Structure 1
């Protein structure tokens, strides 16, 4: 078995003679208080002056995302580096190795901040992730600087090699910092990828909305699993040990969250089978209404009373569902009256049928029908059956309009109803 290739070590004072000379000369300047104060004045003054200039320029670019991003990332270090270069024109007054070292470190910050700006311009993270990315660029710069000087200072070297025990995993400070630094960038890329795949699926005209939702959730889960595995690998966490830990954790969570897991699995089944779709009129568990929204975990149904009912998806796979919109959007409604036993049923049915046909929302195909559905000592039950294809616009309202029209026609023609 061959050993895995190791990443090249960062530049150190032992492997870079030029850097060794710069640091040695800088330490010589530090031993002289006057030169040290003058150097600190130059470096700090350059940074503060640059920050003030950027603060004046920034309001003019608030509506230009690309320029504002480059300004936030690069303007201060680039201006500071420029001012330090200008101070070098004064000759011996400000020409010392400590300023050269400061310029080198600021140039390194420019390079790291440039990488952060490229990531932000490419993937457009959210405000929270954008703030984290900008903080990480500064922390990464400090991390690289400490690594460069780590071989010379035993305290810094000991800091990076410190062992930490987290949930049974042994990690070094270096691994933790690597994971945190890379984790922010990986999360930004994963969020961008998740959003891009979702938009790509939604633009596909050949896929049903249920398939789009199910596939986008599956791709999202796979992408986040890959992102977490990459973060763990960079952090030095043994994935084999993590698998054993996840197995034990999964058993415990499975016992406590089995209903939630069943809802997610049932949601994928419902979305792929398309037994229920957005816009369908369904009845389940004494809930009757129109499906207005579907997620992997739940389905939202708007009842005839205008109330939103949230139904877990596992109930849609374990209970009987009456889907009134499975084959088409036509929905049959029934309204009836009880008339006296001596009523002319032919005339009453004709008037009732005319009242139903007069409504704009009542479909003519299939046509409405009238039936005698019951005869008893109280009277004769007449029921009208009709269809509509827009139940989302209400059902009680069209029934109410039909009753109003029927009552007016019955009064004009002397047809009396039975008091119940």
Structure 2
């Protein structure tokens, strides 16, 4: 099979996420289409003045089934799979079927009035169990809807090649928080809650931010600063204090950094804004490495420096431009200090591998040429004094 044919098959093969989305849409289409058929049949029979007891029962059942599947579809699109999502799916399904059962039995009006009777007054507002339940349901519905919409926006931004990675993350997070804020306000208004009461709530939130939520707010704002100034982006190689790794993800409160051992460190956004950060790939991925070696005073430093230049090619990651250089740095206590300076283009692949390959090549070349790598030693000269024979022996 030709390469072009393979690429064409891969492009036309749906991904796992696409297959799951299509399966979810198919599950939604069935109850909706059956509901439409039922409503058309019910209208036709009513026009002929015929009774429709079975269709009267089927209509709320199909409507509930469609609502459950739509809610589950939006849950799975808005949240990552897990036991919490599964639990919410069961709660939603149980709650909707319970409402349908109460409706079919004719008990729903009595249950609603009973829930509304348990109430208390808070200032000029009357708060009942029914109002609280309506608030929870509406907030949950609009919250899931907002997450679903933000997920769709994030996918569109992710597939866009005209926007930088940091801008995609910034726009996705901004749209997510904006949609969630709108969802809460719309849900509270739909539940009949006076939005002017939010002024008191806003004051309480301000006091909370001033005391206990200061760090959380600082990390949240620092996250947007990192996104909009593009100082740190997903895929960058950074060093924060003693942590070296790749930026995997920018979150609202922290940045996920993964090192070469596969360990993921969650660094608060505030630390990246207020402390010193080394970004190895900020503007230019080229970095210079320095490898220092000592030789004995009995060896020729020029010969050793020439061998070190040859050993710089031991790693394929070492660049020819700028070319490697060697320098005689100092005359130390134990030997002559030489330094090899090389440039690499891919610091994201680590520095230890290049250093190890070059050091091993230098050791082999020095051993073959008879050049000695000294180690700390001391010569003791005894000028005078009497020592016991046991000490001398």
Matching of residues 110-129 of structure 1 within 5 Å: 110=61, 112-113=63-64, 116=67, 119=70, 124-126=74-76, 128=86
Cα shift readout 1:207-227 (whole Å, capped 9, x = no counterpart): 111121121111111111111
| 8 A contact 2:27–2:69 mirrored in 1 | no
Match of 2:19 in 1: none
Match of 1:266 in 2: 222
Corresponding residue to 1:164 among 119, 124, 135: 119
**SS of alignment partner, residue 205 of structure 1:** coil
Match of 1:186 in 2: 142
Cα shift readout 1:191-235 (whole Å, capped 9, x = no counterpart): 221111111111221211112112111111111111111111121
Match of 1:109 in 2: 60
Cα shift readout 1:31-51 (whole Å, capped 9, x = no counterpart): xxxxxxxxxxxxxxxxxxxxx
Match of 1:37 in 2: none
Distance in 2 between the 1:114 and 1:197 partners?
27
Match of 2:191 in 1: 235
Corresponding residue to 1:352 among 302, 308, 328: 308
Distance in 1 between the 2:23 and 2:256 partners?
40
| 8 A contact 1:146–1:156 mirrored in 2 | no
Residues 142 and 326 of structure 1: CA distance in aligned 2, closer, same or farther (over 3 Å): same
Residues 191 and 144 of structure 1: CA distance in aligned 2, closer, same or farther (over 3 Å): farther
| 8 A contact 2:244–2:259 mirrored in 1 | yes
Q: How many residues align?
A: 338
Give the deviation of 1:257 after TM superposition. 2.3
Corresponding residue to 2:252 among 270, 280, 296: 296
**Structure 1: runs of 5 or more not aligned:** 1-62, 83-99
Using structure 1 for the length normalisation, give the TM-score.
Answer: 0.68
Corresponding residue to 1:399 among 341, 351, 355: 355
Distance in 1 between the 2:26 and 2:200 partners?
48
**SS of alignment partner, residue 332 of structure 1:** strand
Give the deviation of 1:395 after TM superposition. 1.6
Give the deviation of 1:360 after TM superposition. 0.8
**SS of alignment partner, residue 349 of structure 1:** helix
Matching of residues 241-280 of structure 1 within 5 Å: 241-280=197-236
Cα shift readout 1:176-205 (whole Å, capped 9, x = no counterpart): 454345444423322221111111111221
Alpha-carbon RMSD: 3.9
Give the deviation of 1:377 after TM superposition. 4.0
| 8 A contact 1:338–1:382 mirrored in 2 | yes
Match of 2:387 in 1: none
| 8 A contact 2:139–2:187 mirrored in 1 | yes
Matching of residues 265-344 of structure 1 within 5 Å: 265-303=221-259, 307-344=263-300
| 8 A contact 2:305–2:326 mirrored in 1 | yes
**Structure 2: runs of 5 or more not aligned:** 1-21, 42-50, 77-84, 377-393
Indicate whether 1:205 and 2:161 are aligned: yes
Match of 1:42 in 2: none
Match of 2:340 in 1: 384
Distance in 1 between the 2:341 and 2:210 partners?
49
Distance in 2 between the 1:230 and 1:68 partners?
29
Distance in 1 between the 2:132 and 2:249 partners?
42
Matching of residues 27-46 of structure 1 within 5 Å: none
| 8 A contact 1:133–1:185 mirrored in 2 | no
Residues 345 and 305 of structure 1: CA distance in aligned 2, closer, same or farther (over 3 Å): farther
Distance in 2 between the 1:113 and 1:307 partners?
46
Cα shift readout 1:327-356 (whole Å, capped 9, x = no counterpart): 211222111111122422211111001100
**SS of alignment partner, residue 373 of structure 1:** strand
**SS of alignment partner, residue 305 of structure 2:** helix
